[in-house]
Amino acid sequence: MKILLVRLSSMGDLIHTLPAIEDLARQCPDVELHWLCEAGFADIARLHPFVKKIHVMKWRQWRKHLFRAETWREMGHLKQTLRQEVFDFVLDSQGLIKSACFAKVAKSPICGLDKNSAREGWAALAYVKTYAVPKGKNAVWRNRELFAQVFGYVMPETQVFGLTVPEAGRLKNLAQPYYAALHATSRDSKLWPVENWRSLLQKLNEEQQCNIYLPWGNEDEKTRAKQIADGLPFAIVCDKINLLQAAYLLKYAVGIVGVDTGLLHLANALEKPVVGIYTDTDPIKTGVQVSPIAKNLGNIGQIPTADLVYQALMDCVAADKG
């Protein structure tokens, strides 16, 4: 059975789909799973070995250049590729009108969330079969429940992400032992003050004799990383890295601390000791999945101190070591 999964974006949404794929791999190992997603997040799909093939769309780029011939050539190529595959059905797990439209490109029967369960109820009109998955639960649970209903099994009690970082993500000459500081996020109001970062990094180095890596994704984030690392020889601003390399960096870190960003959820999915810092979002809604090795601190208008973050991180690292 060949299935196309449509989960286009964002990074966090793709990460929260991975446990459902792990369930599917264990319960229905004969399924051939393809995944259609936004090109910028394709590396997340590559982290799960059960995904047979990844198809990418570039809607974020295409919508800005709809009158260019190249845009239509790329969309036409995607259409041709998907229809050549001949899927038994398409599973749109995103529940948006946009995702439903891309699901229809494959010209195979589509199933997904019903009108009361989807984020955009109108999307359900595109599906030949729909499933009720209660809102109010976390995204991982909802994805796992949807997959269980679609493929006809009972959701396993144990949640496993099942990620494997491919060799293509390998980074050389990392200065062990090290921690990772995920300082960048999509909105300034979610940032943690530079002074807090510097205090935390100094305490980590003094107490743990470690290095700290600061990844970045654009020039503004690179500038911020340099501000945090200024005068701190143990704070290392990363070179430009892709998502697979970021996964490798996180996988081999002693622990990770970060603001509300997709990479924080990736660290959580890799089952690393992690502390999430929240200053303008509610961690109950957007935080990491809490466990002995994963904690959330702060809330809307509540900025945790460096000492509080350090202690929480040490607690998570200690729990990971058993």
Q: Compute the average pLDDT of residues 82-110.
A: 98
- Report whether pLDDT(79) > 90: yes
- What is the spatial distance between Cα 98 and Cα 86, in angstroms, rounded to a whole number? 21
Q: Please report which confidence band the pLDDT of residue 137 belongs to, taking 50, 70 and 90 as the band edges.
A: confident
Q: Cis before residue 304, ω within 30 degrees of 0?
A: no
- Report whether pLDDT(322) > 90: no
Alpha helices, DSSP H, located in the chain: 11-15, 18-27, 42-45, 59-62, 69-85, 97-105, 139-151, 194-208, 219-229, 243-251, 262-269, 283-286, 306-321
Q: Compute the average pLDDT of residues 238-247.
A: 96
Model pLDDT for residues 53-63, shown as the tens digit of each residue: 999 999 989 99
- What is the spatial distance between Cα 224 and Cα 183, in angstroms, rounded to a whole number? 8
- What is the spatial distance between Cα 86 and Cα 311, in angstroms, rounded to a whole number? 53
Instruction: Indicate the pTM of the whole model.
Output: 0.92
Q: Compute the average pLDDT of residues 209-218.
A: 97
Q: What residue ranges define each of the domains in the chain, with the CATH number in brackets? A: 2-151 (3.40.50.2000), 170-321 (3.40.50.2000)
pLDDT at 136: 85
Q: Compute the average pLDDT of residues 7-30.
A: 96
Mean pLDDT of the chain: 96
Q: Compute the average pLDDT of residues 180-185.
A: 97
pLDDT at 285: 83
